[in-house]
Amino acid sequence: MKDAFGTPQSLLVLGGTSEIGLATARRLVARRARTVWLAGRPSPALEAAAGQLRRLGADVHTVAFDALDSASHEEVLGKVFAEGDIDMVLLAFGLLGDQANDEADPMAAVRVAQTNYTGAVSAGLVCANALQGQGHGSLVVLSSVAGERARRANFIYGSSKAGLDAFTQGLGDALVGTGVHVMIVRPGFVRTKMTEGLQEAPLATTPEAVATAIEAGLRRRAEVVWVPGTLRAVMSALRHVPRPLFRRLPI
Amino acid sequence: MAGGRTSGVTLVYKKQIFMTFRIDTPINHPFRRNRVQLGEKRHFSGYRHAMPDFITALSVDDFASVTGWGRTAPTTALVVRPRTYEEAAAAVRGCGTRGSIARGLGRAYGDAAQNAGGSVLDMTGLDRIRTVDADTGMVVCDAGVSLHRLMEVLLPLGWFVPVTPGTRYVTVGGAIGADIHGKNHHVSGGFARHVRSLQLLTADGQARTVLPGTDLFDATAGGMGLTGVILSATIQLLRVETSLMSVDTERATDLDDLMTRLTETDHLYRYSVAWIDLLAKGAATGRSVLTRGDHAPLDVLPPRAARHPLVFRPGQLPAAPAFVPEGLLGKRSVSLFNELWYRRAPRARTGELQKISTFFHPLDGVPHWNRIYGRGGFVQYQFVVPYGQEEALRRIVMRISRRGCPSFLAVLKRFGRGDSGWLSFPVPGWTLALDIPAGLPRLGVFLDELDEEVAAAGGRLYLAKDSRVRPETLAAMYPQIDRFRSLRAELDPHGVFTSDLSRRLAL
């Protein structure tokens, strides 16, 4: 069960090698979390992540999960929920893709869309149903500021996150009154291996800062969290910029 | 969940049911949860006795979001309102895999009377006072009867509840389940000490009579409803001559002064408590106002009051508004309040006559006072450290004062001998209770540190107020917890009685 500050005792991270996911897990393990499920494709990196959390004192399980295999989500995640209540699900998997390459290779672009959107839709719905049965729990979904308004520079990724963001908003509204809390996290540029080598955008942040914002959002039972918080104001201005001007902006 | 479900709504006006209608709600959308529409919050966090005369809607058997008095960590459960013992038994037998828990007036601050995904038995429908023996002061009543109701009925007969907490709006079942204490703990012990017998509905759906001195009684007194549903209880009352209190008030300039005064003269009073200003710093740290007293004897009443010595007429102010901005109770506003409260109190005054509601239940005057903390809610922190651990108490008070927790109406009290309940909170020692807005930055970590301090001093936290302790810390505080768990494993192997509290703390 979550405590008065929304801190969970059990956590399921979808995308078990995600740096933001793991930074959040570390932070929550330091507070209350005792049981952590890391769901991801079996790999040495997943086991290493599990080992790291175990050293912090958590009871960590890994589970084979592939975002692209939507048909398996019900069964794979059903097994996790059958083991006991999950107080918080963190939907952290995602693919950035390579915009320039993907524009020329439609199948690569589809892979980005399927991972970030279709995979998240099926996993999100499976988790939402399970949480609803429990009558409590938080579903935290990592969206992105890129989904707030499509940009020339990364609209494939941006559109998939836009879809995910809209889906999550609707899901959150559908779940009002069921005891399930749905929270959208919209980070800006986060310095991780996913963004390694890319040119840093203004207001860049770190996985640890995102984790801190998630913990604070859980306490407030927030519906949307921007990281850093100033992005909320920046994006609300940017989304009203006329398109001829917007496409010329160096962002 | 497939197909339709019927739910009924009863409109209540001035405590009279004047309209009942039923609604057929087809439920075919998987996310659709039927919510209580009218007066939802009134129903779950308030009580119609506490209400001014306006319409409240009570819904039967409906999914609803439920929280404790602190309004943190809401979860959704099927709320069932039994009106008879048989309905209660049927609800327990058919509660499903996520179990059931009894709920009274929802005054527990944390998640004790919540059961996410399961059912919550709203016991306030079982509200009959069965028998009153006006000669011996023995009352038999249903578990859903409030202490307010008992006072209304019994004071005119010259009897008073043996123990009352800071609010009258708790039920008898809740009073036993939390083994509540009051300002008279050093004289009278906890509520369960005055219970002569109780009817307990256990996991098998059978009602059994439970007598003091048995293991089941000791597990149930303070057992937070996890041994079963209390259906009714027989309680020994206290004889009083009047409904007024004779109160002595004095100020203590700091914590040491307060502790000296309490140690030296507490035994002279039946009721004793100290309000403590936790925001005062430096030499004034721990400055307090002591209010102590007893029921006024008939001969001290002025002639006018003596004509109706047993009248019970608590006043009532308008309810707190439903929406209060977050952060209204900041450090500045609370220090100002504390300053005024301290200065308002007389340096020393004896024999003042006060109404029962003024002396015991000042906050009951404002219905829904818990809303003043805003949407984020608040946590209540109450601990006890044994006598001999005054240093630990001093350190904790200093830390709270240094941290600047905006806490108004924090209270310090000396407990007397403890009782036999396995999870009953009071042990001989000093108890401090304070409210803190839940949104205070890094409050969770700070309270965890205080927990360590309390546990190291051999003290403990009060489950009825807790919403955040670590399971392993709690286990260190209650040595009988394993006994409690094994009795539960035997009596209720399938976990029929489950609450958010029991899930969180693995009780």
| pTM for the structure as a whole | 0.90
Contact B504 A9 (CB under 8 A): yes
Contact A174 B33 (CB under 8 A): no
- pLDDT of B329: 81
- pLDDT of B482: 97
The correct answer on CATH 3.40.462 for the domain covering B244-469 is: yes
Contact indicator for A75, A127 with CB cutoff of 8 Å: no
Contact A220 B439 (CB under 8 A): yes
Q: Per-residue pLDDT averaged across B66-72, rounded? A: 96
Q: Per-residue pLDDT averaged across B204-223, rounded? A: 97
pLDDT at A31 over 50: yes
pLDDT at B231 over 60: yes
Contact indicator for B287, B277 with CB cutoff of 8 Å: yes
Contact A5 B110 (CB under 8 A): no
Q: Which of A154-163, B54-63, B338-347 has the highest mean pLDDT?
A: A154-163
- pLDDT of B50: 37
With cut-offs at 50, 70 and 90, classify the pLDDT of residue B5: very low
pLDDT at B451 over 90: yes
User: A interface mutation test: which of B67, B76, B443, B451 has the most A CBs within 10 A?
Assistant: B76
Smallest CA–CA distance from B29 into chain A, residue: A174
Smallest CA–CA distance from B70 into chain A, residue: A4
B-contacting residues in A 25-54 (Cβ below 8 Å) = 31-32
Superfamily of domain A10-246: NAD(P)-binding Rossmann-like Domain (3.40.50.720)
- pLDDT of B490: 97
- Going by the DSSP 8-state scheme, the letter that residue B309 receives in this structure is T
Distance (Å) from the C-alpha of residue B495 to the closest C-alpha of chain A? 14
Of A177-181, A245-249, B330-334, B461-465, give the lowest mean pLDDT range: B330-334
- pLDDT of B19: 39
pLDDT at A186 over 70: yes
Judged by a CB distance cut-off of 8 A, whether residue A74 touches chain B is: no
- pLDDT of B54: 33
pLDDT at B467 over 50: yes
SS3 state of residue B28: coil
**Higher confidence at residue A11 or residue B329?**
A11
Judged by a CB distance cut-off of 8 A, whether residue B235 touches chain A is: no
- Chains A and B form CB pairs within 8 A to the count of 82
Judged by a CB distance cut-off of 8 A, whether residue B379 touches chain A is: yes
- Going by the DSSP 8-state scheme, the letter that residue B296 receives in this structure is P
Q: Per-residue pLDDT averaged across A127-149, rounded? A: 97
Encoded tokens for A205: 């942040």
* Domain extents in chain B: 4-121, 129-240, 244-469
Arithmetic mean of pLDDT over chain B: 89
User: Is A157 assigned a catalytic role?
Assistant: yes
What residues of chain B lie within 8 A of the CB of A6, using their CB?
73
Contact B75 A85 (CB under 8 A): no
Contact indicator for B135, B144 with CB cutoff of 8 Å: no
Q: What is the rounded radius of gyration, in angstroms, for the C-alpha atoms of chain A? A: 17
Distance (Å) from the C-alpha of residue A28 to the closest C-alpha of chain B? 12
> What are phi and psi for residue B162, nearest 5 degrees?
-65, -30
With cut-offs at 50, 70 and 90, classify the pLDDT of residue A99: very high
- pLDDT of B2: 36
User: B interface mutation test: which of A5, A129, A215 has the most B CBs within 10 A?
Assistant: A5
Q: Per-residue pLDDT averaged across A17-25, rounded? A: 98
- pLDDT of B331: 85
Choose the closest CB to A134 out of B111, B117, B438. B117
Q: Give the number of other Cβ atoms within 10 Å of residue A236's Cβ.
A: 11
Q: Which CATH class is domain B129-240?
A: alpha beta
Contact A177 B35 (CB under 8 A): yes
What residues of chain A lie within 8 A of the CB of B500, using their CB?
1, 136
pLDDT at B8 over 50: no
Distance (Å) from the C-alpha of residue A130 to the closest C-alpha of chain B? 11
Distance CA B168, CA B349 (A): 26
Contact indicator for B393, B381 with CB cutoff of 8 Å: no
Contact A4 B504 (CB under 8 A): no
Contact indicator for B172, B50 with CB cutoff of 8 Å: no
Distance CA A93, CA A99 (A): 18
pLDDT at B52 over 50: no
pLDDT at B341 over 60: yes
Arithmetic mean of pLDDT over chain A: 96
Contact indicator for B50, B80 with CB cutoff of 8 Å: no
Judged by a CB distance cut-off of 8 A, whether residue A212 touches chain B is: no
* Domain extents in chain A: 10-246
Distance CA A66, CA B34 (A): 35
With cut-offs at 50, 70 and 90, classify the pLDDT of residue B315: confident
Distance CA B398, CA B392 (A): 10
Q: Per-residue pLDDT averaged across A189-202, rounded? A: 90
Secondary structure (DSSP) of B223-235? STT-S-EEEEEEE
**Higher confidence at residue B37 or residue B77?**
B77
Distance (Å) from the C-alpha of residue B471 to the closest C-alpha of chain A? 10
What pLDDT digit, counting tens, does each position of B94-144 carry? 999 999 999 999 999 999 999 999 999 999 999 999 999 999 999 999 999
Judged by a CB distance cut-off of 8 A, whether residue B63 touches chain A is: yes
Q: Give the torsion through C-alpha atoms of B7, B8, B11, B17, to 10 deg.
A: -150
- pLDDT of B408: 79
Judged by a CB distance cut-off of 8 A, whether residue B65 touches chain A is: yes
With cut-offs at 50, 70 and 90, classify the pLDDT of residue B432: very high
- pLDDT of B323: 85
- pLDDT of B61: 66
How does strand B56-59 pair with strand A88-91?
Answer: unpaired
What residues of chain B lie within 8 A of the CB of A5, using their CB?
72, 438, 443-444, 468
What residues of chain A lie within 8 A of the CB of B113, using their CB?
none
Percent of chain B with pLDDT over 70: 88
Secondary structure (DSSP) of B268-286? G-SEEEEEE-TT--GGGTT
Contact A175 B376 (CB under 8 A): no
Encoded tokens for A79: 């097994």
Choose the closest CB to B31 out of A5, A31, A178. A178
HEC-encoded secondary structure of chain A: CCCCCCCCCEEEEECCCCHHHHHHHHHHHHHCCCEEEEEECCCHHHHHHHHHHHHCCCEEEEEECCCCCHHHHHHHHHHHHHCCCCCEEEECCCCCCCHHHHHHCHHHHHHHHHHHHHHHHHHHHHHHHHHHHHCCEEEEEECCHHHCCCCHHHHHHHHHHHHHHHHHHHHHHHCCCCCEEEEEEEECCECCHHHCCCCCCCCCECHHHHHHHHHHHHHHCCCEEEECCHHHHHHHHHCCCCHHHHCCCCC
pLDDT at B7 over 80: no
Written as one letter, the residue type at B456 is: A
Contact B504 A31 (CB under 8 A): no
CA A212 to chain centre: 14
With cut-offs at 50, 70 and 90, classify the pLDDT of residue B32: very low
- pLDDT of B55: 31
CA nearest A157: which of A174, A142, A139? Answer: A142
- Going by the DSSP 8-state scheme, the letter that residue B6 receives in this structure is E
pLDDT at B259 over 50: yes
Instruction: Provide the CB-side half-sphere exposure for B416 (13 A, CA).
Output: 19
With cut-offs at 50, 70 and 90, classify the pLDDT of residue B53: very low
Smallest CA–CA distance from A221 into chain B, residue: B376
User: Looking at the DSSP assignment, which residues form a beta bridge with residue B6?
Assistant: B24
Judged by a CB distance cut-off of 8 A, whether residue B1 touches chain A is: no
